[in-house]
A and B are shown apart, each in its own frame.
Chain A
Amino acid sequence: MEIQLLGITVLWIFLYGYLIVASIDFGAGFFAYYGRITKKDHIINNIISRYLSPVWEVTNVFFVFFFVGLVGFFPSTAYYYGTALLVPGSIGLVLLAIRGSFYAFGNYGAKDSNLYMFLYGATGLLIPASLSTALTISEGGFMVEEGGTVVFLVKELFTSFYSWSVVFLAIVSVLYISSMFLTFYASKAKDLPALELLRKYALFWSPPTILASFLVFMSLKNHNPEHFQNMLDYSYLFMLSLFCFLTAVWLVYRKVRYGTAFLFVMLQFFFAFFGYGVSHLPYILYPYITLDTGFTNETMGIALVIAFIAGLFLLIPSLYLIMKMFLFDAKYVQGDRVK
């Protein structure tokens, strides 16, 4: 495999990881707040807080890892995205900052603050909406290079049907992934009332997810026909994704094997995300940056890949450990362990 391709694959895997863990986190924040205002918080909030407390910082690192890696492997992305995205990027950052710190303030400090809960819940939906914009922009048509500088076409972005369908997809998939995961977590905790409620949320958010995915497909056809054509070449990946979606929903509907169901949710997004990614190549930012033009030098590329492999030896056992302690430890999940 060429080193460029290896680099983008590594980054894409991390972005996929972030997509899953962050969606769980973002959605959980929303459900916790929704539970509070509909007076159902006593049912689900224990489950949510037991999962989130130990892992929220890890979620954040996935994101940092992705963008630092992107600038490392493809330094020219810093130039294009950096110049163009100062304003939306800064707003996204402020939202992320508010979310992270208010989670900690609420969780370790003022336990029952409605305001903190609101900020935590609202940012859970706003952040995916604003972060997904970076992917939208990569399709081209939202920035131009003129007179030695990069100009971001805000108006185009806000009036584009494609851009809004991506935002819609981002929000509903957050709620879908999150409720699917929490359903599994509640079943593991043998918390039946929570399970019942979360399962309802999961089923409720399934049709919009698939609908949004179709919308994105259709609007991409107009927005970037070249990419759309490439996607058709990989249609088997999207078929697989659809199959995984149907299996997951069917399992949850039949009230069996919630763990397997969530695995299928992960596969559903895996196939779709990689299908989208591979058909996007060779462009990283259409039409300005490709795998080859944007890539850092060979030496740095190799150094980064070596660092990455060495890092994995450290990370995988550690991630396994934290999952074993908080995800697969029945006693912890059921709340029998003292904090």
Chain B
Amino acid sequence: MIVQKVNVFIRIIEMTVGGVDMPELDSVMLSRLLTAMTLGFHIIFATLGVGVPLLISGAEWIGIRRKDEHYRLLARRWTRGFVVTVAVGVVTGTCIGLQLSLLWPSFMEVAGQVIGLPLFLETFAFFFEAIFLGIYLYTWDRFKNPYYHWLISVPVVIGSTASAFFISTVNAFMNAPTGFELKNGEIVDIQPLVAMFNPATPTKASHVISTAYMTAAFVLAAITAFLILRKGKSEYYKKALHFTMLTGFVFAIATAIIGDFSGKYLAEYQPEKLAAAEWHFETEKGADLIVGGVLNEDGEVEHELRIPNALSILAHADPNSEVIGLEEFPEDETAPLFIHYLFDVMVGIGMFLVFLSGLYLLFVKWRKGNPYWRPLLWTIVASGPLAILAIEAGWIFSEVGRQPWVLWHMMKTSEGATTSEHVGQMFILFAALYILLGTICTTVLLKMFRKNPAETEFEQMKKR
């Protein structure tokens, strides 16, 4: 039994890294790797940057309304950590913004003509957020009416969410390029708004935003749970845990619902992406959903878990509907099959987060339940990193799942990349940068909160 499991595991690793032909490290592949690295690093900070302001604003509002100093202190302390992550988010966002032109000049030349509008709007939203964040940070005690300070957080929330929305429309456009015609290689009939509100936009943008809120909530919940385990449950931490877990639950449910719509979007507009993710090879009615498993030498699925008719439900909300299989597409126009695991990781963690936060809330409501039960708290500690892992898996799934296209059915990734010979060196340069930023950011955050624990700060606040 164990031997068999080990074999399955080895097979998975082979399929992910070595089983498929190892691609050559040309400038296209290196450009992809460098973009992936920048995005993979940036997305952690960007997600927190979109989600955390909502929690800060919520905590401050509750604090003012209930005249509860705990909540106001929560908002202050979260803000302080948040600023450090924002700084990394801003600089890595600048990196990806410029790298789009540096690494994908031909893609940007074409795409810029059609999708330039939301890119431009994104910087406006970012501008708006930056200005009000600057004001918010330095005006805690400046107004007599505390609601004025809270009001300043509103444009920060709007700005960060709007910038997530705009940038998601650009990515949606890459999956569903609309709003223009190609005639003899010329781009004509351009409609910027149609390009921006393409068929992929509703599910893509709402998914990005709701997962950002959800992830921020679980990351903050994880930190709180860890502190409770270390220092015991004070009133302050209890409130923090309840607030974050409740927010996490709401957005985990929202994410699950939006995720279902995303499945239906894929089935209708990008069936080959769904088919590759689900290892659905032949078109059939009443298709099963395959969870896990490996592909054997003959390309058959083994060791999988099958949920009868679930794929048909996911694709068309009808257990007997027909789902298009991978066989209907030319082989060189479909994504590598390892994205199946990324899909499973993303969905699996999403489900787990719904369950975990639901269980916590049940323990709070149910008299005999103990929401501070240590195994539960430790699981909450794990939920933060897991949520981020799901974000990473989701993005890699989305990007690799679109391959070989950079603009779906319009432009291949290899046609968009730079021809420069120095991408390899730049990869090393940026890898060093991200390692440096990641390490120092973590140390600075740890130092900040160790030097100035919540308990002492609360005492100081009361004295004031």
Contact = CB atoms under 8 A, between A and B. Distances in A.
Nearest to A65: B123
Nearest to A302: B192
A228 interface: no
Given A75-B109, A79-B109, A82-B105, A87 B120 contact: no
B134 A54 contact: yes
B87 interface: yes
Contacts of B134: 53-55, 57-58, 322, 326
Interface of B is mostly: helix
Contacts of B95: 93, 97
B119 interface: yes
Nearest to B433: A94
A63 interface: yes
A104 B84 contact: yes
Contact of B124 (A55, A60, A307, A319): A307
B92 interface: yes
Interface in B249-296: none
Interface residues on A, range: 35 or more
Interface string A74-89: 0110111111011101
Contacts of B425: 87
Nearest to A304: B120
B8 interface: no
Contacts of B444: 105, 108-110
Nearest to A81: B101
A79 B106 contact: yes
A89 B102 contact: yes
Contacts of B423: 86
Given A57-B90, A109-B448, A318 B132 contact: yes
Contact of B117 (A64, A72, A332): A72
Nearest to B189: A299
A72 B119 contact: yes
B105 A300 contact: no
Contacts of A104: 83-84, 86-88
A300 B109 CA distance: 13
Interface residues of B, number: 75
A55 B138 CA distance: 11
Nearest to B134: A54
A93 B94 contact: yes
Contacts of B126: 61, 64
A98 interface: yes
Contact of A96 (B94, B123, B137, B437): B94
Nearest to B85: A104
B141 interface: yes
Given A98-B433, A110-B444, A297-B187, A78 B94 contact: no
Interface in A89-105: 89-91, 93-94, 96-98, 100-105
Interface of A: 53-55, 57-58, 60-61, 63-65, 67-69, 71-73, 75-76, 78-83, 85-87, 89-91, 93-94, 96-98, 100-105, 108-110, 148-149, 296-297, 299-300, 303-304, 307-308, 311, 314-315, 318-319, 321-322, 325-326, 332, 337-339
Given A64-B93, A98-B433, 17 more contacts: A60-B94, A60-B130, A65-B124, A90-B99, A94-B430, A96-B91, A97-B95, A101-B91, A102-B440, A108-B448, A148-B419, A296-B116, A303-B192, A319-B131, A321-B135, A322-B131, A326-B134
Interface of B: 80, 83-84, 86-88, 90-95, 97-106, 108-110, 112-114, 116-117, 119-124, 126-128, 130-135, 137-142, 155, 187, 190-193, 418-420, 422-423, 425-426, 429-430, 433, 436-437, 440-441, 444-445, 447-448
